[in-house]
């Protein structure tokens, strides 16, 4: 399943977007995240960890069409963003 820029921008507008591997992993383990969006160049190790914890919590992991630079631009950040999560 693919995520679009529209999905990310709507999460930003609703103030439900979180960034950072540590924050997202904590949210997955605690059940505070509804879905995770990964950039196309996300490392395989990180993607496997995300998919494992997401499957345990029955949360969807979506791919993003662009790389981490594009995801950072969509989020309005001046740096690369590999993964973002959407809070409940």
Sign, Cα dihedral of 11, 85, 30, 55:
positive
CA-CA distance, 7 to 49, in Å (whole number)? 23
Domains in the chain (CATH in brackets) are 2-87 (3.30.1330.30)
What would you report as the CA-atom Rg of the chain, rounded to the nearest whole angstrom? 12
pLDDT in tens, 52-85: 999 988 898 999 989 999 999 999 999 999 999 9
Q: How confident is the model at residue 10 (pLDDT cuts 50, 70, 90)?
A: very high
- In 1-88 the beta strands, taken as DSSP E runs, fall at 2-3, 17-19, 33-38, 60-64, 83-87
Q: How confident is the model at residue 3 (pLDDT cuts 50, 70, 90)?
A: confident
Question: The whole model's pTM is what?
Answer: 0.89
Specify the 3-state DSSP secondary structure of 86.
strand
pLDDT in tens, 13-32: 999 999 999 999 999 989 89
């Amino acid at each position: 399943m693919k995520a679009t820029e529209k999905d990310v921008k709507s999460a930003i507008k609703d103030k439900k977007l979180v960034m950072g591997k540590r924050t997202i992993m904590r949210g997955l383990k605690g059940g505070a995240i509804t879905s995770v969006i990964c950039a196309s160049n996300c490392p395989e190790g990180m993607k496997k960890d995300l998919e494992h914890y997401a499957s345990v919590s029955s949360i969807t992991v979506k791919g993003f069409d662009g790389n981490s630079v594009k995801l950072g631009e969509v989020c309005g950040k001046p740096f690369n963003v590999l993964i973002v999560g959407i809070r409940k």
